[in-house]
């Protein structure tokens, strides 16, 4: 199970973490990320193009359930052009009108969530983690200190990835 923390730095014990996951309606699974020659190339030269994106999606398709209208691959590295601008968008609390899932292929990141009671929690995810976020769940995302992540993003019905920014202040120090 990915590590879940509160704004004061408290790490939730397994029982409390599972309760929080159920409260938010998240689905989580962990395993070994699927191998991919295209992924190895992206990790080696920090370059993702359409051909590599399609190859990665084809190579991991067998590990994913179907039914997704939109899918892509995001690759972020310390030398990604405009990384700060990209992360500023992800870091702002938002929600999507559609359910979305993420399969982490390499690296690590942190999803933050606004809880029904207004509290907040962050969940660290790493290679092999699969996270399903229900439609309307207020969340944000940031990279870990290693600033590297490759993930497949999936949406069930809305392939344009539109985010509704909420303006909720994040209670975690970053």
For residue 154, count other CB atoms closer than 10 A to its CB. 23
| Percent of all residues in the chain with a pLDDT value above 90, rounded to a whole number | 77
| Contact between 102 and 109 (Cβ < 8 Å) | no
Q: In this structure, is residue 172 part of a structural domain?
A: no
- Domain housing 148: 3-157
Q: In this structure, is residue 170 part of a structural domain?
A: no
For residue 68, count other CB atoms closer than 10 A to its CB. 18
Q: Is the pLDDT of residue 158 over 70?
A: no
Confidence of residue 119 (pLDDT cuts 50, 70, 90): very high
User: pTM of the predicted model, to two decimals?
Assistant: 0.93
Q: In this structure, is residue 94 part of a structural domain?
A: yes
Q: Which of 133, 134, 121, 126 is nearest to 151 (CA)?
A: 126
Q: In this structure, is residue 163 part of a structural domain?
A: no
Q: In this structure, is residue 17 part of a structural domain?
A: yes
Q: Alpha helices of the chain — where are they, by DSSP H?
A: 14-24, 37-45, 50-60, 83-91
Q: Is the pLDDT of residue 159 over 70?
A: no
Q: How far lies 39's CA from each of 12, 65, 121, 144, in Å?
A: 32, 20, 30, 20
Paired with 37 in beta bridges are: none
Q: The CATH number of the domain where 66 resides is what?
A: 2.60.120.10
State the Cα–Cα distance between residues 61 and 59, nearest whole angstrom.
6
Q: In this structure, is residue 140 part of a structural domain?
A: yes
- 73-96 tens-digit pLDDT: 999 999 999 999 999 999 999 999
Mean pLDDT of the chain: 92
- 34-73 tens-digit pLDDT: 888 999 999 999 999 999 999 999 888 877 776 777 889 9
Q: Is the pLDDT of residue 134 over 80?
A: yes
Number of domains in the chain: 1
Q: In this structure, is residue 153 part of a structural domain?
A: yes
Q: Alpha helices of 71-162 — where are they, by DSSP H?
A: 83-91
Paired with 110 in beta bridges are: 124, 142
Q: In this structure, is residue 173 part of a structural domain?
A: no
């Amino acid at each position: 199970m990915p590590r879940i923390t509160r704004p004061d730095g408290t790490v939730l014990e397994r029982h409390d973490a599972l309760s929080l996951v159920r409260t938010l309606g998240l689905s989580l699974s962990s395993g070994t990320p699927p191998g991919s020659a295209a992924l190895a190339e992206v990790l080696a030269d920090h370059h993702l193009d359409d051909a590599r994106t399609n190859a990665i999606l084809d190579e991991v398709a067998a590990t994913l359930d179907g039914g997704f209208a939109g899918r892509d691959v995001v690759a972020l590295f310390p030398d990604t052009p405009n990384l700060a601008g990209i992360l500023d968008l992800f870091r702002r609390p938002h929600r999507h009108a559609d359910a979305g899932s993420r399969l982490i292929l390499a690296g690590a990141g942190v999803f933050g969530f606004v809880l029904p009671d207004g509290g907040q929690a962050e969940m660290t995810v790493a290679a092999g983690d699969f996270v399903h976020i229900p439609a309307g769940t207020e969340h944000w995302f940031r990279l870990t200190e290693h600033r590297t992540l490759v993930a497949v993003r999936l949406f069930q019905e809305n392939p344009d990835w539109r985010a509704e920014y909420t303006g909720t202040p994040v209670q975690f120090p970053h």
